[in-house]
Structure 1
């Protein structure tokens, strides 16, 4: 974990203003609307930050496992989901501490550009290997330059798109961010509901 993340959360419980900024709230709502299922059995959200998305996911899941590399962020996320017995938050350093479980929804948001290319490929493989047979994978990343970036957002998303086991079902591109959703099930939401063949 980069030490400055820990310092950021120690001095501000919302350093990226994910609660206040319309940009962040809108992006979160777009991500939630892009999910192809209304409910999930077990969600994994690495790099959960202060838990705003985690709390929103809790309303659509039987179980949510969230993690962050910053102990301060983990404490804030735990406070945010206090009283939600089906949500757990723990400190993990990824990709090495990836949980030994399976998930039907994995959300990788604003994380992968901090990784080296070998670590990105390990992250991709861990996502693929722990996704259930009907599972969904979401990536959402800022596109503009910033000092800590190691990888470009397009390269990250293209790396996941190259997995033959994953079928991209949503692609949303804006000047500021990319949002992509893959599923092991290639059928659209309308097809799954019998509206379309």
Structure 2
């Protein structure tokens, strides 16, 4: 994807953190799998697959998975994880995808689109590789997060911003694009998608108590991401 975040510099640390963190392993990934539903015998494209944990879970549920990421290091890690169980390649969501029209039943895009300034062109390209009536299941930063964490900013104004993180003890910078909810839904419509579901899910009840921050102990949910299921028209 065309973005400023360079996962090659902290791919292994990010992947290790992703395996057991509340935000990934017990919140985002279970929500994506629940929205995907029964994927047996479906051909799925994992757009921005990272080191492959979602692809692995989909393969385990009977899907045929192809994954791509713009980070060579992430693809190297995904190949170690998946071996011959999935086709994996380096590709950029901001450019034409190397797949024929009408190839996939579903596309999953897990925490990918918030790195992109433009959504319409990548969504249009995803619609091209989806079979008629195919779905894209996607998660992105919830649009309320940016104004919450940056008081005084204009929710309605698209903005580029960066957050500093520590992944398994290694620092990493993630650079995002904030956009209001209506800008997201406008892009879906322009690219030829209809919204089937919008989800703000709770974290998994399987989450170990020791990884839940104190401020969430008395809550069953929190806002970090927003999830969509879109149907190609």
TM-score normalised according to structure 1 size = 0.79
- Whether contact under 8 Å (1:42, 1:62) holds in the other structure is yes
Instruction: State the Cα distance separating 1:138 from its structure 2 match.
Output: 0.9
Q: What is the CA–CA distance in structure 2 between the aligned matches of 1:31 and 1:160, rounded to whole Å?
A: 21
Gaps of 5+ in 2: 147-160, 163-174, 201-221
| Paired residue secondary structure (1:178) | strand
Q: What is the CA–CA distance in structure 2 between the aligned matches of 1:41 and 1:180, rounded to whole Å?
A: 19
Matched, 1:169 2:171: no
2:107 corresponds to: 106
Q: What is the CA–CA distance in structure 1 between the aligned matches of 2:14 and 2:224, rounded to whole Å?
A: 23
Question: In the superposition, relative to structure 1, how do residues 140 and 104 fare at CA in structure 2: closer, same or farther (>3 Å)?
Answer: same
| Paired residue secondary structure (2:48) | coil
Question: In the superposition, relative to structure 1, how do residues 4 and 35 fare at CA in structure 2: closer, same or farther (>3 Å)?
Answer: closer
Q: What is the CA–CA distance in structure 2 between the aligned matches of 1:59 and 1:67, rounded to whole Å?
A: 18
Question: In the superposition, relative to structure 1, how do residues 97 and 54 fare at CA in structure 2: closer, same or farther (>3 Å)?
Answer: same
| Paired residue secondary structure (1:126) | helix
| Paired residue secondary structure (2:6) | helix
1:24 corresponds to: 24
| Paired residue secondary structure (2:176) | coil
Q: Which has the higher contact order (CA 8 A, sep 6+)?
A: 2
Instruction: State the Cα distance separating 1:30 from its structure 2 match.
Output: 1.4
How many residue pairs match? The answer is: 179
1:58 corresponds to: 59
2:176 corresponds to: 149
Q: What is the CA–CA distance in structure 2 between the aligned matches of 1:164 and 1:97, rounded to whole Å?
A: 14
1:191 corresponds to: none
Q: What is the CA–CA distance in structure 2 between the aligned matches of 1:165 and 1:3, rounded to whole Å?
A: 28
| Paired residue secondary structure (1:50) | coil
Q: What is the CA–CA distance in structure 1 between the aligned matches of 2:180 and 2:11, rounded to whole Å?
A: 24
1:72 corresponds to: 73
2:217 corresponds to: none
Instruction: State the Cα distance separating 1:62 from its structure 2 match.
Output: 4.3
Matched, 1:180 2:228: yes
Which one has a bigger Cα radius of gyration? 2
- Whether contact under 8 Å (2:39, 2:63) holds in the other structure is no
Question: In the superposition, relative to structure 1, how do residues 38 and 90 fare at CA in structure 2: closer, same or farther (>3 Å)?
Answer: closer
